[in-house]
Structure 1
Amino acid sequence: MSRPVLFFDSGLGGLTVLREARLLLPERRFVYVADDAGFPYGAWEEDALLTRLLSLFEVLLKAHDPEAVVIACNTAFTLAGAALRVRFPDTRFVGTVPAIKPAAERTQSGLISVLATPGTVRRAYTRDLIRSFADRCAVKLVGSEKLAICAEAFLKRQVVDEAVLRAEISPCFVTSDDGQTDIVVLACTHYPFLAGLFRKLAPWPVDWLDPAEAIARQLRRVVPDVPFDADAHFADQAVFTSGEVSPELARLLSGFGLKRPQSLKFF
């Protein structure tokens, strides 16, 4: 049996990337790890979160020996990506960063907003991306403490207050003498699950830029082909650091091809 690809996120948002990866890597099996005991990451202090991530990956890499790891979380990768590569030099890491470069290439008005967690907004990494790729654009960083939580609730078929969503996305919409915002970068993998509601609630149409497909393409570039084994996919699993996997959550995960939810108690 081939080595798996490990997906990592604070919660369920990385499933948006896993969905795309399955299309491009049909021969691979997957392990999806949700650090739901630490969710949400956006409000964590940087040193504490970095320590947690390094400790958690010591456990995960030994347990699963992955072919590659996708950090399907902007907050985690912009903070810990470099440190993870130094600590685990033999592991291929594919990161998730705000899609500022493609946004700058596509915008017509030059007005871009980046909708992210507060942690991603604070990162020097994010501001370096703006300086490197969007220095001729007006980029507004919008940090939300609520949207990732709303996305998790939406996935679990709980009621989501549209007034809350509208208030969270409204700062993204800017007008100036040159025009108005035409691209909003979804800089948290949870947010694409809410994209339909965002379109409904937006004051005008914009391109909601989801990086999931680009991340999956990068994964395909770095992971070698292996012979397809249909039986291997019965071993696909999800792991939750809270140690809690409800029947409802197990049913949700089965829709993403993750048929063996497990728990990993981690503090």
Structure 2
Amino acid sequence: MNNTASDRPIIAFDSGIGGLTVLREARVLIPDRRFVYIADDAGFPYGDREEEALKQRIIGLFDGFIKTYDPEIVIIPCNTASTLVLDDLRKAFPAVPFVGTVPAIKPAAERTSSGLISVLATPGTVKRAYTRDLIQSFATKCHVRLVGSQTLARMAEMHMRGDKLDDAALLDEIMPCFYEKDGKRTDIVVLACTHYPLLVNVFRRLAPWPVDWLDPAEAIARRALSLLKPNVDGVEPEHGDDIAVFTSGLPDFPTRRLLQGFGLNPV
């Protein structure tokens, strides 16, 4: 393709619909670009998949995405994919800038008053050395509890499709985030999976005490904006051209309706 930078879309890639939280922020900050949202729903959920197989799957998918869409930049809202394969993607496709997502441990450490932080993530993100390195680098003066959930990403997808969730089951998933130490309580929970902000209003309602639920979406969007070249022609694209691609090829009706609510045309 011989597109100018402003003609080339921004890809946002996630294992499911969780990355829509980041896409929403990116479209606010970057109104002069087209977006292609790609959900690897055929591989969902990522959190409990075998690492090497998942890595090869994502690299193989991107070989096709880069050739098909010629993106100006790629945003990967998915924590699991970012912590696993971001460096490999940058090496495989050096001409394309990649913006990844890592648990927001540094801003949490800067913001906490009690020094007690929880990181709510998928099992894959919890066990990854990358996450523990972030704690060692930025939060050594804090007590950080890593909480891995096998089911919250699925629950978030169900919630956004209009399914009713069981409050008790949700509370079981988030309760380990809430703990007390030396008379102090958890005051920040890092949402280290892009699906989890989809449930944040439910989390607030069920939480045993108020905490700051830290969503990295805006920070990711700002980072993407900083890497873009100016749109020299000054013409903003029609966001009706923004599309959503599902690797299964078969998003169901509630998902298609949700995508349209985000201004995306399923293809």
The answer to whether the superposition gives a TM-score over 0.5 is yes
- What is the aligned counterpart of 2:101 among 96, 100, 107? 96
Shift of 1:223: 1.1
CA distance in 2, matches of 1:203, 1:72: 28
Contact residue 116 and residue 143 of structure 1 kept, 8 A? yes
Aligned CA RMSD, in angstroms, stands at 1.1
Gaps of at least 5 residues in structure 1 are: 263-267
2:203 corresponds to = 198
Shift of 1:249: 1.9
1:208 corresponds to = 213
Secondary structure of 1:37's partner?
helix
Contact residue 17 and residue 212 of structure 1 kept, 8 A? yes
Say whether 1:254 aligns with 2:228. Answer: no
1:70 corresponds to = 75
Shift of 1:231: 4.9
1:80 corresponds to = 85
- What is the aligned counterpart of 1:59 among 39, 64, 71? 64
1:265 corresponds to = none
Secondary structure of 1:213's partner?
helix
CA distance in 2, matches of 1:110, 1:183: 9
2:248 corresponds to = 242
TM score, norm. by length of structure 2: 0.95
- What is the aligned counterpart of 1:108 among 113, 116, 137? 113
- What is the aligned counterpart of 1:182 among 174, 180, 187? 187
CA distance in 2, matches of 1:105, 1:91: 31
Counterparts of 1:126-165 in structure 2, within 5 Å, are 126-165=131-170
Gaps of at least 5 residues in structure 2 are: 1-5
Say whether 1:10 aligns with 2:24. Answer: no
Shift of 1:162: 1.0
Contact residue 33 and residue 237 of structure 2 kept, 8 A? no
> Which amino acid counterpart does residue 236 of structure 1 have in structure 2?
D
Contact residue 32 and residue 235 of structure 2 kept, 8 A? yes
Shift of 1:204: 0.5
CA distance in 1, matches of 2:200, 2:255: 21
Identity of aligned pairs, percent? 62
- What is the aligned counterpart of 1:34 among 24, 39, 42? 39
Say whether 1:223 aligns with 2:228. Answer: yes
Please list the CA deviations of residues 53-110 of structure 1 after superposition, one character each: whole Å capped at 9, or x if unmatched. 1111101111110000000100000000111111111110000100000000000110
Q: How many residues in Structure 1 have an aligned counterpart in Structure 2?
A: 261
Contact residue 98 and residue 185 of structure 1 kept, 8 A? yes
